[in-house]
Amino acid sequence: MPIPEGHMIVGRIINAHGLRGEVQVELHTDFPERFASGEHVLLGESLTLTEIRTSRPHKGRMLVLFE
């Protein structure tokens, strides 16, 4: 899948985590602040624009909850 111009891959969802809807994200960036609350990301092959509700580091990955 081609990446739209001006965008980059910053992570990959690898697993669900817990019962609150969080997912584990493998980072593909040196800037974990890209996953700050209120930031927007494009998800999946359909490039769905989604807001990050919360995120926190966990065992070298990020746990992220999307809106």
pTM value?
0.88
Q: For the segment 13-67, what is each residue's pLDDT rounded down to a tens digit?
A: 999 999 999 999 999 999 999 999 999 999 998 899 999 999 999 999 999 999 9
In the predicted model, is pLDDT for residue 11 greater than 70?
A: yes
Q: Identify which has the larger pLDDT, 7 or 15.
A: 15
Residue 5: pLDDT band (50, 70, 90) is confident
Strand order in the sheet with 11-17: 11-17, 22-27, 61-66, 48-58, 40-43
Closest CA to 62 of 14, 27, 17, 18: 27
